[in-house]
Homo-oligomer: A and B are copies of this chain.
Amino acid sequence: MTVETSADMPVNPLILKLEAFHALSEADKELLTRLSTTSRTVGPREDLIREGDPPERVYLILEGFACRYKILPDGSRHIMAYMVPGDLCDLHVFILKTMDHSIGTLSACEVVDLPRAQVMEMIERPAIARALWWSGLVDGATLREWLVNIGARSAEERVAHLLCELLVRLRLVGLATEDRYELPITQNELGDTMGLSTVHVNRVLQRLRAEGLIIFKSQKLVILKVAELMAFSGFNPNYLHLESRRTLYAARG
Protein backbone atom coordinates (compact mmCIF):
# COMPACT_ATOMS: atom_id res chain seq x y z
CA MET A 1 0.00 0.00 0.00
CA THR A 2 2.89 2.34 0.58
CA VAL A 3 5.78 2.97 -1.72
CA GLU A 4 9.18 2.24 -0.25
CA THR A 5 11.16 5.21 0.96
CA SER A 6 14.85 4.89 1.62
CA ALA A 7 17.71 7.15 2.62
CA ASP A 8 18.80 7.79 -0.94
CA MET A 9 15.56 9.53 -1.81
CA PRO A 10 13.91 11.27 -3.61
CA VAL A 11 12.56 8.66 -5.95
CA ASN A 12 9.18 10.31 -6.13
CA PRO A 13 8.77 10.55 -9.88
CA LEU A 14 6.39 13.48 -9.64
CA ILE A 15 9.04 15.52 -7.88
CA LEU A 16 11.67 14.47 -10.38
CA LYS A 17 9.44 15.50 -13.20
CA LEU A 18 8.29 18.82 -11.80
CA GLU A 19 11.83 19.78 -10.93
CA ALA A 20 12.68 19.44 -14.57
CA PHE A 21 10.71 22.63 -14.93
CA HIS A 22 11.87 24.48 -11.86
CA ALA A 23 13.42 23.55 -8.53
CA LEU A 24 10.98 23.12 -5.66
CA SER A 25 11.50 24.08 -2.02
CA GLU A 26 11.94 21.39 0.60
CA ALA A 27 8.51 22.20 1.96
CA ASP A 28 6.94 21.76 -1.45
CA LYS A 29 8.70 18.46 -1.94
CA GLU A 30 7.57 17.28 1.47
CA LEU A 31 4.00 18.09 0.57
CA LEU A 32 4.23 16.13 -2.66
CA THR A 33 5.89 13.26 -0.89
CA ARG A 34 3.22 13.21 1.74
CA LEU A 35 0.40 13.31 -0.76
CA SER A 36 1.85 10.41 -2.68
CA THR A 37 2.42 8.24 0.36
CA THR A 38 -0.70 6.20 -0.03
CA SER A 39 -0.71 4.36 -3.28
CA ARG A 40 -2.44 1.25 -4.45
CA THR A 41 -1.33 -1.51 -6.74
CA VAL A 42 -3.42 -1.96 -9.86
CA GLY A 43 -3.05 -4.98 -12.09
CA PRO A 44 -2.33 -4.74 -15.80
CA ARG A 45 -5.21 -3.91 -18.14
CA GLU A 46 -7.48 -2.52 -15.50
CA ASP A 47 -9.46 0.66 -15.83
CA LEU A 48 -8.94 3.50 -13.40
CA ILE A 49 -11.94 5.36 -14.76
CA ARG A 50 -14.27 4.79 -17.69
CA GLU A 51 -15.79 6.99 -20.33
CA GLY A 52 -19.09 8.28 -18.95
CA ASP A 53 -18.02 8.21 -15.31
CA PRO A 54 -17.95 11.46 -13.36
CA PRO A 55 -14.35 12.43 -12.64
CA GLU A 56 -13.93 12.38 -8.88
CA ARG A 57 -10.23 12.29 -8.45
CA VAL A 58 -6.96 12.81 -10.14
CA TYR A 59 -4.58 9.92 -10.69
CA LEU A 60 -0.85 10.01 -10.22
CA ILE A 61 1.20 7.16 -11.62
CA LEU A 62 4.14 6.15 -9.45
CA GLU A 63 5.09 2.97 -11.27
CA GLY A 64 4.09 1.26 -14.48
CA PHE A 65 2.43 2.43 -17.67
CA ALA A 66 -1.15 3.56 -18.01
CA CYS A 67 -2.98 5.14 -20.91
CA ARG A 68 -5.93 7.21 -21.99
CA TYR A 69 -8.05 5.47 -24.58
CA LYS A 70 -11.37 5.38 -26.35
CA ILE A 71 -13.35 2.47 -27.69
CA LEU A 72 -15.04 3.14 -31.02
CA PRO A 73 -18.48 1.89 -32.05
CA ASP A 74 -16.90 -0.94 -34.05
CA GLY A 75 -15.11 -2.15 -30.93
CA SER A 76 -11.65 -0.98 -31.88
CA ARG A 77 -9.58 0.83 -29.31
CA HIS A 78 -7.46 3.88 -29.79
CA ILE A 79 -4.85 4.89 -27.23
CA MET A 80 -4.40 8.65 -27.06
CA ALA A 81 -1.72 9.06 -24.42
CA TYR A 82 0.67 7.09 -22.31
CA MET A 83 0.97 7.91 -18.66
CA VAL A 84 4.31 6.98 -17.15
CA PRO A 85 5.62 7.42 -13.60
CA GLY A 86 5.37 11.03 -12.52
CA ASP A 87 2.40 11.69 -14.81
CA LEU A 88 -0.74 13.10 -13.41
CA CYS A 89 -4.01 13.12 -15.25
CA ASP A 90 -5.64 16.43 -15.89
CA LEU A 91 -6.06 18.56 -12.78
CA HIS A 92 -9.02 20.37 -14.18
CA VAL A 93 -11.32 17.48 -14.84
CA PHE A 94 -13.45 18.28 -11.86
CA ILE A 95 -15.50 20.82 -13.72
CA LEU A 96 -16.64 18.31 -16.30
CA LYS A 97 -19.63 16.15 -15.58
CA THR A 98 -18.42 13.02 -17.28
CA MET A 99 -15.26 11.56 -18.72
CA ASP A 100 -15.12 11.53 -22.51
CA HIS A 101 -12.54 8.74 -22.49
CA SER A 102 -11.24 6.01 -20.25
CA ILE A 103 -7.98 5.68 -18.37
CA GLY A 104 -6.56 2.24 -17.78
CA THR A 105 -3.34 0.53 -16.92
CA LEU A 106 -1.18 -1.20 -19.48
CA SER A 107 1.27 -2.87 -17.13
CA ALA A 108 0.73 -3.28 -13.39
CA CYS A 109 0.91 0.13 -11.76
CA GLU A 110 1.29 1.91 -8.47
CA VAL A 111 -1.33 4.61 -8.49
CA VAL A 112 -2.15 7.44 -6.11
CA ASP A 113 -5.74 8.64 -5.99
CA LEU A 114 -5.90 12.33 -5.27
CA PRO A 115 -9.29 13.61 -4.22
CA ARG A 116 -10.23 17.19 -4.93
CA ALA A 117 -9.09 18.47 -1.56
CA GLN A 118 -5.58 17.18 -2.05
CA VAL A 119 -5.36 18.65 -5.50
CA MET A 120 -6.37 21.98 -4.00
CA GLU A 121 -3.70 21.62 -1.38
CA MET A 122 -1.09 21.20 -4.08
CA ILE A 123 -2.33 24.09 -6.12
CA GLU A 124 -2.15 26.46 -3.21
CA ARG A 125 1.63 26.29 -3.35
CA PRO A 126 2.63 28.69 -6.09
CA ALA A 127 5.73 26.82 -7.19
CA ILE A 128 3.83 23.57 -7.41
CA ALA A 129 0.94 25.24 -9.17
CA ARG A 130 3.29 26.65 -11.77
CA ALA A 131 5.02 23.35 -12.28
CA LEU A 132 1.72 21.52 -12.64
CA TRP A 133 0.59 24.17 -15.04
CA TRP A 134 3.70 23.57 -17.10
CA SER A 135 3.11 19.86 -16.93
CA GLY A 136 -0.41 20.30 -18.27
CA LEU A 137 0.87 22.38 -21.15
CA VAL A 138 3.41 19.71 -21.98
CA ASP A 139 0.65 17.10 -22.01
CA GLY A 140 -1.24 19.20 -24.52
CA ALA A 141 1.84 19.71 -26.65
CA THR A 142 2.50 15.99 -26.57
CA LEU A 143 -0.98 15.30 -27.77
CA ARG A 144 -0.44 17.66 -30.70
CA GLU A 145 2.81 15.97 -31.54
CA TRP A 146 1.05 12.61 -31.52
CA LEU A 147 -1.51 14.01 -33.90
CA VAL A 148 1.22 15.08 -36.27
CA ASN A 149 2.96 11.78 -35.78
CA ILE A 150 -0.04 9.77 -36.87
CA GLY A 151 -1.19 12.25 -39.46
CA ALA A 152 2.03 12.93 -41.25
CA ARG A 153 4.64 10.24 -40.73
CA SER A 154 5.17 6.78 -42.18
CA ALA A 155 4.64 3.77 -39.97
CA GLU A 156 8.35 3.34 -39.40
CA GLU A 157 8.92 6.98 -38.52
CA ARG A 158 5.90 6.92 -36.25
CA VAL A 159 7.08 4.06 -34.14
CA ALA A 160 10.60 5.45 -34.05
CA HIS A 161 9.27 8.80 -32.92
CA LEU A 162 7.33 7.25 -30.08
CA LEU A 163 10.40 5.36 -28.90
CA CYS A 164 12.38 8.60 -28.88
CA GLU A 165 9.72 10.46 -26.96
CA LEU A 166 9.54 7.78 -24.32
CA LEU A 167 13.32 7.78 -24.00
CA VAL A 168 13.26 11.46 -23.11
CA ARG A 169 10.22 11.25 -20.86
CA LEU A 170 11.50 8.27 -18.95
CA ARG A 171 14.95 9.80 -18.50
CA LEU A 172 13.22 12.65 -16.73
CA VAL A 173 12.07 10.36 -13.98
CA GLY A 174 15.15 8.20 -13.85
CA LEU A 175 13.61 5.28 -15.68
CA ALA A 176 15.75 5.38 -18.79
CA THR A 177 19.48 5.51 -19.18
CA GLU A 178 21.16 7.19 -22.09
CA ASP A 179 19.91 4.59 -24.51
CA ARG A 180 17.55 2.06 -22.94
CA TYR A 181 14.41 1.53 -20.93
CA GLU A 182 11.72 -0.94 -20.02
CA LEU A 183 8.74 -0.74 -22.33
CA PRO A 184 5.98 -2.95 -20.87
CA ILE A 185 3.75 -2.76 -23.91
CA THR A 186 2.61 -5.31 -26.45
CA GLN A 187 2.78 -4.85 -30.20
CA ASN A 188 -0.97 -4.89 -30.23
CA GLU A 189 -1.07 -1.94 -27.85
CA LEU A 190 1.54 -0.17 -29.91
CA GLY A 191 -0.69 -0.66 -32.91
CA ASP A 192 -3.71 0.77 -31.13
CA THR A 193 -1.56 3.76 -30.26
CA MET A 194 -0.12 4.42 -33.68
CA GLY A 195 -3.13 3.61 -35.77
CA LEU A 196 -1.43 0.52 -37.22
CA SER A 197 -2.35 -3.14 -37.29
CA THR A 198 -0.45 -5.47 -35.00
CA VAL A 199 0.99 -7.23 -38.01
CA HIS A 200 2.35 -4.03 -39.38
CA VAL A 201 3.83 -2.96 -36.06
CA ASN A 202 5.67 -6.22 -36.12
CA ARG A 203 6.99 -5.57 -39.62
CA VAL A 204 8.11 -2.12 -38.60
CA LEU A 205 9.93 -3.35 -35.52
CA GLN A 206 11.68 -5.99 -37.58
CA ARG A 207 12.88 -3.33 -39.95
CA LEU A 208 14.11 -1.06 -37.18
CA ARG A 209 15.98 -4.05 -35.79
CA ALA A 210 17.36 -5.00 -39.17
CA GLU A 211 18.61 -1.47 -39.66
CA GLY A 212 20.54 -1.81 -36.42
CA LEU A 213 18.61 0.99 -34.77
CA ILE A 214 17.05 -0.87 -31.86
CA ILE A 215 16.95 -4.07 -29.86
CA PHE A 216 13.55 -4.81 -28.37
CA LYS A 217 13.06 -8.03 -26.55
CA SER A 218 11.22 -9.09 -23.39
CA GLN A 219 9.92 -5.59 -22.81
CA LYS A 220 13.44 -4.20 -22.82
CA LEU A 221 14.30 -1.60 -25.41
CA VAL A 222 17.81 -0.58 -26.35
CA ILE A 223 18.26 2.20 -28.86
CA LEU A 224 21.52 1.43 -30.57
CA LYS A 225 21.81 4.71 -32.42
CA VAL A 226 19.95 7.41 -30.56
CA ALA A 227 20.91 10.32 -32.77
CA GLU A 228 20.08 8.37 -35.91
CA LEU A 229 16.71 7.25 -34.60
CA MET A 230 15.83 10.82 -33.66
CA ALA A 231 16.90 12.16 -37.02
CA PHE A 232 15.10 9.41 -38.88
CA SER A 233 11.83 9.98 -37.07
CA GLY A 234 12.04 13.77 -37.17
CA PHE A 235 12.02 13.86 -33.39
CA ASN A 236 12.49 17.35 -31.98
CA PRO A 237 12.08 17.49 -28.21
CA ASN A 238 11.04 21.13 -28.20
CA TYR A 239 7.43 20.18 -27.54
CA LEU A 240 8.39 18.67 -24.20
CA HIS A 241 9.57 22.11 -23.10
CA LEU A 242 12.44 20.86 -21.02
CA GLU A 243 14.54 23.83 -20.33
CA SER A 244 17.36 22.52 -18.24
CA ARG A 245 20.08 20.52 -19.84
CA ARG A 246 19.91 17.90 -17.09
CA THR A 247 16.40 16.94 -17.92
CA LEU A 248 17.29 16.09 -21.45
CA TYR A 249 20.61 14.45 -21.23
CA ALA A 250 21.43 13.32 -17.73
CA ALA A 251 20.87 9.63 -17.38
CA ARG A 252 19.88 8.19 -14.08
CA GLY A 253 19.98 4.57 -13.00
Min CB distance, A166 to chain B, in Å? 17
Contact flags A115-149 to B (C-beta < 8 A → 1, else 0): 00000000000000010011011011101111110
Which residue in chain B gives the minimum CB-CB distance to A243? Answer: B97
**Does any Cβ of B come within 8 Å of A27's Cβ?**
no
Q: Which of B92, B130, B146 contacts A137 (CB 8 A)?
A: B92
The verdict on A6 contacting chain B, using a C-beta distance below 8 Å, is no
B-contacting 9-mer, from A10-18, A67-75, A178-186: A67-75
- Kindly state whether residue A239 has any CB partner on chain B within 8 Å: yes
- A140 pairs with B137, CB closer than 8 A: no
User: Nearest-CB distance from A127 to chain B (Å)?
Assistant: 12
Q: Number of A interface residues, CB 8 Å? A: 44
Per the bound structure, the CA–CA distance linking A18 and B237 in Å amounts to 34
**Given A100-B144, A140-B143: 8 more A-B contacts, CB < 8 Å:** A72-B152, A72-B153, A76-B152, A90-B137, A100-B238, A143-B147, A147-B147, A151-B195
The answer, among B148, B150, B241, for a CB contact under 8 Å with A72, is B148
Q: Are B95's CB and A137's CB within 8 A?
A: yes
